[in-house]
Amino acid sequence: MKGIDVEALCEIFPFNFKIGEDMTLIDVSPRLFAKAPQITVGAKLLDCVEFERPILKKYNYETLLNYKKSALEIKISGVPNINFVGQIVQNRDSLQEIIFLIKPFATDLDMLTEIGFSLSDFAPSDALPDLLLGIQFAESKNVQLKQQNELLSEEMVVNKFLSDIFVCDTLETLFLNIAVSTAKALQADDVVIYRVESSLARQVAGAGSTQTSVQVSETGLAIPSGKGVVGRAVSEQKSQLVPDVNQCDYYIRDLASKGGSEIAVPVLVDGQVIAVIDSESKETDRYSIEDQHLLETFAELAGPMIINHIRRIRVQEESLKTAQKLRNKNRSLKSISHEFRTPLAQISSGVQLIAKHGDEMGEDEKRDTLESLLNPINRLTSLFESLMSEESGVKEAIIMEEFCLIALINRIAKQALRPYGRDGDLIITSKEKSLIVNSSRESMTQIILNLLVNAAKYSVINTEINLSIENFGHRFLLSVADCGIGIKGDDLGSVFEPHMRSAEAIVMAEGAGFGLSIVRNKVEELGGEVSVTSTKGIGSCFKVSIPSTA
């Protein structure tokens, strides 16, 4: 074999023909046309494609381009016992054309001459030794052809896997497509994908059979690292090929076990196992080392896509958390700003009273009015400190203390209504002259002020606002009732939600819709409950039930 030019041997092709994008035969060798108007391609990958003149059926132009430079074994109808080897190339002069180059192989020269071919049909005279060598080594060339086609077959399977997983919008879809594509490549009826987090492999997708898909969706089995075949793939970070699970001492049997063989291949990214591709079969020795290599290729391709999806999800989650924090901060600021209005209105009302009627007021009345301004000033100070605590990330502490609820109401109730000109409309009812509770003075102040301001804003002047206190020993009940516009039945369920304001409320008074949501939050912080009954056009009654002792 010394001195043989292998490249020159491969270049000896007796026939060629061109096919355009519309699959029409453009140019056909006269010898090929005369001997074989129909050609059958017998290569494994092309699945006996039939070339018919003038139209090539079954495969389109783009599909054939996938087989560029691949070796094909071709039989020409009417030419028995002679094999031809062909190669598909794209025409460099015209990229819209495919060229098929075909070369014969026979065990002896007589087989070619018997069917009418002469040596001049195949090659110039200086190439005859190479041609004879090609005929002599026809069988060994066929083995090479088989190997080339097997390599091409694996390449096509890998390309198909890539195309299956490339366009996935979600991580769930990606896992499912990996399972489905793997099941097709292995021709397996059980393929399960595990996602690995915190040393735990959890089933996330299954394919191959309906039973496997249902089992994964219903069970979602989780396997610790190091346990079973899948767990070993995680802990050892290498593929596990088990020909017979009955001979495997670390195999875990469960309701879905097949009892034959298993293969598990880890998906590694930056030295960490992020997923496992696993397949089980009822047959022993079902999986080969070639299957392992194929799944390892799949794992290598799938890893970057999986980690990109995971990172994208984490970025989205962080963005959502940041957006939620901003929304919470905005709601908190609006709530605080709402709370500032009442004490500011009280201070404004007191200052205006002194400014207009100070000359007519006695010293005792002036002193009482000025002292009444201390409560809203203290309230503003408390609100400011609360705002600063929240801004620094420190939650406002709820201070529990003993105090007289009746005294608190008497001190703040009329002051809350004075800016609205409603202090004369307030009626306080209580069987108790003194009611000592252990609760939050600050929270109770906010509850009472917001309920009274709500009643003042949504009822007309010179109508009663009733505040009553009832003591039930372990709990007390505070009620605030008005004769205002009332609340429609459809709105009662959401009246304590932030921003909730009915069309009638918007017309009647300004506001941000935070007052009643603050009431609910404060009541719940104290372990209490708040409710409302209302009749449209007649009025509303809010009831707050809170433990007497925190």
Comparing 226 with 339, the larger pLDDT belongs to 226
Which band of pLDDT confidence, cut at 50, 70 and 90, is reported for residue 54?
Answer: very low
Return the CATH class of domain 398-547: alpha beta
User: Which pair of structure tokens corresponds to residue 514?
Assistant: 């935070």
Is the pLDDT at 142 greater than 60? The verdict is no
pLDDT, one tens digit per residue, over 370-413 is 766 766 776 676 556 555 655 554 455 688 999 999 999 998 88
Which band of pLDDT confidence, cut at 50, 70 and 90, is reported for residue 481?
Answer: very high
**Which stretches within 107-209 are classed as H helix?**
109-114, 128-136, 138-166, 171-186
Question: By 3-state DSSP, what share of the chain in percent is helix, strand and coil, each rounded to 5?
Answer: 50, 25, 30
C-alpha 424/C-alpha 421 separation (Å) is 7
C-alpha 67/C-alpha 52 separation (Å) is 19
C-alpha 531/C-alpha 186 separation (Å) is 64
Cβ(482)–Cβ(463) under 8 Å?
yes
What is the dotted CATH code of the domain comprising 168-315?
3.30.450.40
SS3 10: helix
SS3 70: coil
pLDDT, one tens digit per residue, over 520-548 is 989 999 999 999 999 988 999 999 999 99
Is the pLDDT at 439 greater than 90? The verdict is yes
Can you tell me which residue has the tokens 């408390």? 382
Alpha carbon 495 to its chain's center: 34
Which band of pLDDT confidence, cut at 50, 70 and 90, is reported for residue 550?
Answer: low
- 527 conformational bin, left if phi > 0, alpha if psi -120 to 50, beta if neither: left
Q: What single letter denotes the amino acid at residue 49?
A: V
Among the listed ranges 268-282, 361-375, 414-428, which one has the minimum average pLDDT value?
361-375
Instruction: Tell me the mean pLDDT in the region 39-43.
Output: 42
CA angle 125, 129, 132 (to 5 degrees): 110
pLDDT, one tens digit per residue, over 332-367 is 666 566 567 767 777 887 788 788 887 888 887 777
Q: Fill in the DSSP letter of residue 199.
A: T
C-alpha 55/C-alpha 311 separation (Å) is 50
Nearest to 16 by CA among 1, 37, 30: 30
Residue boundaries of the structural domains of the chain? 6-159, 168-315, 398-547
Q: Which residues contact 148 (CB under 8 A, 6 or more apart)?
A: 70, 71
pLDDT at 318: 86
C-alpha 361/C-alpha 353 separation (Å) is 10
pLDDT at 225: 93
Is the pLDDT at 297 greater than 50? The verdict is yes
pLDDT, one tens digit per residue, over 69-82 is 555 565 555 555 66
pLDDT, one tens digit per residue, over 423-436 is 899 999 999 889 99
User: Which pair of structure tokens corresponds to residue 166?
Assistant: 């490339």
| DSSP calls for 449-491 | HHHHHHHHHTS-TTS-EEEEEEE-SSEEEEEEEE-SS---GGG
Number of C-beta neighbours around residue 422 at 10 A: 24
Is the pLDDT at 4 greater than 80? The verdict is no
Q: Are strands 97-105 and 261-269 parallel, antiparallel or unpaired?
A: unpaired
Instruction: Tell me the mean pLDDT in the region 131-135.
Output: 48
Cβ(550)–Cβ(478) under 8 Å?
no
SS3 16: strand
Q: In what order do the strands lie in the sheet with 97-105?
A: 25-28, 15-20, 97-105, 83-90, 71-76, 38-41, 50-52
C-alpha 378/C-alpha 372 separation (Å) is 11
Instruction: Tell me the mean pLDDT in the region 235-264.
Output: 88
Q: Are strands 15-20 and 401-404 parallel, antiparallel or unpaired?
A: unpaired
Task: Look over the chain and give the mean of its residue pLDDT values, rounded to a whole number.
Answer: 76
Share of the chain above pLDDT 70, in %: 63
Is the pLDDT at 200 greater than 90? The verdict is yes
C-alpha 251/C-alpha 242 separation (Å) is 9
Instruction: Tell me the mean pLDDT in the region 23-49.
Output: 46
C-alpha 333/C-alpha 441 separation (Å) is 22
Nearest to 178 by CA among 6, 309, 65, 1: 309
